């Protein structure tokens, strides 16, 4: 027996373990990956942000304009939701496309349920929330976003801002029906358990605070935001976005800004303003307005670092190549960067040491030191846009 064991060990050492699998094959973890959308190429690239190392590209994913990426709860799989409602499941350990399905005609994003069992899509066409099994990508439920009015008229609305919340809830807004609905994703039939109507005109996006407590909807045609306490689920309160003394001329709405939980910095929320060249600062415990921070253009994303000290803001339209950094200690812009043409979608690494930025019009992704504001790395990419860190796995609404 001893002699047999020695022979086996000799064989293993001599042949590099080939009989037991190729131990020299490259491997990586998934907790520090950046999945970056190449919007016109229909592909994503994957970078290990712990080493700033390009790992590979996965293509054939459909129309990726306004695409978003969600992750499985264990961080192994990325789900790319394309604008044409194609959902692609990618294995981040092999960078292989596992499965691709069509889940509608026009979609603007989605979210993973708290239990990790389902992907829920915000669909424009048909106007609905569509729920897919995260393992198989089979449709398990379609929830038509139909509002019926007292006079008998009905409207099927586009859906925006679908987000997960504690209690395995899904919360979303009806863009054309001025409503917020709540679904219990922990029950077999995914019942709509609350419908809040006439909450504000034309909701366009929403965020859930990192603790999952509050759902905040933005409106295109009301001068307030709507706040829903997910512990109570009683009402959508109005949070004013403008005071009489805050008068300023509107600027063009170059692009609808994004609201997400990445805009929360400690006890403050820093949100992009509609048609105004400033960022709005709120106390996120009382939701009272604190101040406006002047910017050199209109904000698209307001992204807080993990420690809440700095907010990186990308601009659209006027000065659309600039990134501005707000220091939350002073609540003022302390740095203006010009990374390159079409700079967009700043994304912090997991502990905030670096920031990744897409240069959409230069076919590059650049990496900055978040403390010194120096560029330290760049990667080639095909019209890059959205950058999604796998650390979003651990956050509500991401």
48-83 pLDDT per residue, tens: 999 999 999 999 998 899 899 999 999 999 999 999
Q: What is the pLDDT of residues 163-215, one digit of tens each?
A: 999 999 999 999 999 999 999 999 989 999 999 999 999 999 999 999 999 99
DSSP-assigned letter for residue 246: G
pTM for this one?
0.90
370: left (phi over 0), alpha (psi -120 to 50) or beta: alpha
The answer to which of 88-97, 119-128, 154-163, 270-279 has the lowest mean pLDDT is 270-279
67 to 90, 260, 327: CA distances (angstroms)? 14, 15, 30
Per-residue pLDDT tens for 328-381?
A: 999 999 999 999 999 999 999 999 999 999 999 999 999 999 999 999 999 999
Q: Which of 55, 123, 40 is nearest to 87 (CA)?
A: 123
Which residue in 162, 186, 176 sits closest to 70, CA to CA? Answer: 162
What's residue 14's pLDDT? 42
Tell me: pLDDT of 389 over 70: yes
Could you check whether the bond before residue 174 is cis, i.e. omega within 30 degrees of 0? no
Dist. CA 325–CA 69, nearest whole Å: 25
- Asked if 356 and 375 count as a contact pair (C-beta separation under 8 A), the reply is no
Residue 112, Cβ neighbours under 10 Å: how many?
21
Q: How confident is the model at residue 21 (pLDDT cuts 50, 70, 90)?
A: very low
Residue 313: band (very low, low, confident or very high) from pLDDT cuts 50, 70, 90: very high
Rounded distance between C-alpha atoms, residue 151 and residue 170, angstroms:
29
User: Counting beta carbons within 10 angstroms of the beta carbon of residue 345, is it exposed (0 to 12), middle (13 to 18) or buried (19 or more)?
Assistant: buried
Percentage of the chain surpassing pLDDT 90? 82
The overall average pLDDT reported for the chain is: 91
- For 96-139, the pLDDT digits (tens) are 999 999 999 999 999 999 999 999 999 999 999 999 999 999 99
Architecture of domain 103-240: 7 Propeller (2.130)
Looking at residue 15, its pLDDT comes to 42
Q: How confident is the model at residue 10 (pLDDT cuts 50, 70, 90)?
A: very low
Residue 240: is its pLDDT beyond 90? no
Place of tokens 């939350």: 328
Strands in 375-380's sheet, in edge-to-edge order, are: 343-348, 354-359, 364-369, 375-380
Residue 242: pLDDT band by 50, 70, 90 thresholds? Answer: low
Q: What is the pLDDT of residue 117?
A: 97
**Does the structure show a pLDDT above 60 at 316?**
yes
Q: Which residues, including other chains, have CB under 8 Å from residue 294's CB and lie 6 or more apart?
A: 277, 278, 333
């Amino acid at each position: 027996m001893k002699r047999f064991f020695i022979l086996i060990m000799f064989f293993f050492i001599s042949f590099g373990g080939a009989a037991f699998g190729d131990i020299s094959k490259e491997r990586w973890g998934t907790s520090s990956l950046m999945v970056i959308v190449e919007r016109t190429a229909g592909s994503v690239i994957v970078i290990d942000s712990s080493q700033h190392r390009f790992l590979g590209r996965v293509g054939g994913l459909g129309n990726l304009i306004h695409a978003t990426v969600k992750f499985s709860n264990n961080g192994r799989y990325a789900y790319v939701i394309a604008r044409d409602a194609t959902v692609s499941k990618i294995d981040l350990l092999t960078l292989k496309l596992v499965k691709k399905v069509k889940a509608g005609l026009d979609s603007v994003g989605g979210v993973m349920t708290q239990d990790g069992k389902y992907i829920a899509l915000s669909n424009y066409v048909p106007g609905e929330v569509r729920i897919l099994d995260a393992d198989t990508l089979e449709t398990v439920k379609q929830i038509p976003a139909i509002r019926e009015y007292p006079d008998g008229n009905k409207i099927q609305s586009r859906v925006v801002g679908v987000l997960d919340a504690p209690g395995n809830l899904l919360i979303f807004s009806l863009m054309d029906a001025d409503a917020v609905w709540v679904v219990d994703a922990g029950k077999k039939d995914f019942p709509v358990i609350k419908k809040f109507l006439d909450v504000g005109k034309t909701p366009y996006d929403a965020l859930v605070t990192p603790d999952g407590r509050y759902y905040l909807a933005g409106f295109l045609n009301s001068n307030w935001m709507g706040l829903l306490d997910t512990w109570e689920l009683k009402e959508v309160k109005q949070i004013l976005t403008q005071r009489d003394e805050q008068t300023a001329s509107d600027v063009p709405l170059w692009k609808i800004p994004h609201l997400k939980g990445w805009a929360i910095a400690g006890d403050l929320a820093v949100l992009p303003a509609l048609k105004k060249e400033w960022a709005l600062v709120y106390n996120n415990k009382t939701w009272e307005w604190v101040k406006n921070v002047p910017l050199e253009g209109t904000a698209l994303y307001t992204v807080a670092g993990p420690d809440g000290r700095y907010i990186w803001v990308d601009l659209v339209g006027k000065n659309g190549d600039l990134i501005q950094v707000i220091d939350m200690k002073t609540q003022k812009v302390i740095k203006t960067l010009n990374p390159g043409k079409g700079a967009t979608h700043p994304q912090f690494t997991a502990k905030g040491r670096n920031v990744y930025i897409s240069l959409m019009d230069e076919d590059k992704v650049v990496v900055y030191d978040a403390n010194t504001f120096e560029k330290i790395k760049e990667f080639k990419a095909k019209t890059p846009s959205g950058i999604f860190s796998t650390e979003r796995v651990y956050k509500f609404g991401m």
